[in-house]
Amino acid sequence: MSTEKNHVMSIEYDLTEKGGSEILDSNKGHQPLEFITGKNQIIPGLEDELVKMEKGEEKSITVAAKDAYGEVNPEAVETLPREQFAGLDLQEGMQLYGQGENGETVMVTVKSFDDNTVTIDYNHPLAGKDLTFNVKVVDVREATPDEVLSGQVGGGHCESGGCGCS
C-alpha cells in the first residue's frame, strides 16, 4: 500500500543523529504524532519513506540533512546590539523566540555574546545533520473531507460536540 496524499498517519518515533545513540526527540510512551500526508506537515525525507509503510510496520529511516531541516546557511547568522536583549539572562545555546518580518514566529539560537553584541543563528538546531528516525506506524486511515480542507487532524471544527468542543 502506498499512502500518497490525504491520509492521516499516526507514528511513534525516536530521533537520533545518524550514527549517534543520544535520543534527541521521542514520543514513545506518549501520544502518537499524527499528520496528513501530502500537506508538508513533517520533514519531507521522513514522509517520503513513511508513505511506503503500513499500519504496524516498524523501520529505521535515515534522512539526509537536505531532506530534513536543510543544510546550515552561514548567512542565517546575525550579530545584533546587546541592548536588543535587555533583561534576558543570556546563555550560549539558548533558544529564543521572536517575530519575523511577516509576523511569523521565528526561533533563534544564541551562538555567542559579549558586553556589546549578541550573535544569533536562525538555522534550525538540527540543520546540517543527517537524522535517524526509529518509527512505528500506529495507524493509517483516509483523512475526512474536513481534515483535507483544514489541514488539521480532527478537521479543525466539531459538528456533534463529541471532540471536546462545547
- 8-27 mean pLDDT: 95
- Set out the domains of the chain in order of their start, with CATH numbers: 7-69+127-150 (3.10.50.40), 74-121 (2.40.10.330)
- pLDDT at residue number 157: 47
Summarize pLDDT for 24-69 with one digit per residue, the tens.
Answer: 999 999 999 999 999 999 999 999 999 999 999 999 999 999 999 9
Could you tell me the pTM of the whole model? 0.78
Could you read off the pLDDT of 61-120 as tens digits, one per residue? Answer: 999 999 999 999 999 999 999 999 999 999 999 999 988 788 888 899 999 999 999 999
3-state helix, strand, coil in the chain (%, to 5): 15, 35, 50
